[in-house]
Amino acid sequence: MRVQFKAEGGVAFFPGLSKPKTIDSDDLSPAEAAKLKRLVTAARFYDLPADPPQRAGAADYRQYTITIEDGRRHTVRLADPVEDPDLQALLDFLSEKARPK
């Protein structure tokens, strides 16, 4: 499974630092790869609309673009706050893995 993750917007946003990060399950430990798969399944990622409706004022919120390839390809764009706890758990995991080390 390959995930391309991009976060942008919000307070203290610097466009030049907002490059997409690729997270490949082959590069994760077996436990982390299994967790990623569970999180994608729990969030029903492939059932989500590509551009869910945005709340009023969402232009000031942090925005995320997630593309997952695992035999099929799907892209979803989200903005804070994410109310679905399963989707938020996936977002937290991807945010952690995308941080520079």
Type of residue found at 42:
A
pLDDT digits (tens, 9 = 90+) for 40-65: 999 999 999 998 766 665 556 888 99
pLDDT tens-digit map of 68-100: 999 999 999 998 888 999 999 999 999 999 887
Q: What is the pLDDT of residue 18?
A: 64
Give how far Cα 59 sits from Cα of 19, 34, 68, 98, Å: 19, 34, 24, 22
Please state the domain extents for the chain: 2-98
* Cβ atoms < 10 Å from Cβ of 45: 18
Instruction: Determine which helix (DSSP H) or strand (DSSP E) holds 73, and give its type and residue range.
Output: strand 73-79
Please give the model's pTM, rounded to 2 decimal places. 0.85
| Backbone φ, ψ for residue 24 (5° rounding) | -110, 125
> At residue 14, does pLDDT exceed 60?
no
Residue 80: which of 48, 47, 57 has the closest Cα? Answer: 57
Nearest to 65 by CA among 56, 55, 76, 79: 76
Asked if 22 and 3 count as a contact pair (C-beta separation under 8 A), the reply is yes
Q: For the chain, give the mean pLDDT.
A: 87
Per-residue pLDDT for 29 more than 90?
yes
Predicted pLDDT at 100: 76
Model confidence at 16: pLDDT above 70: no
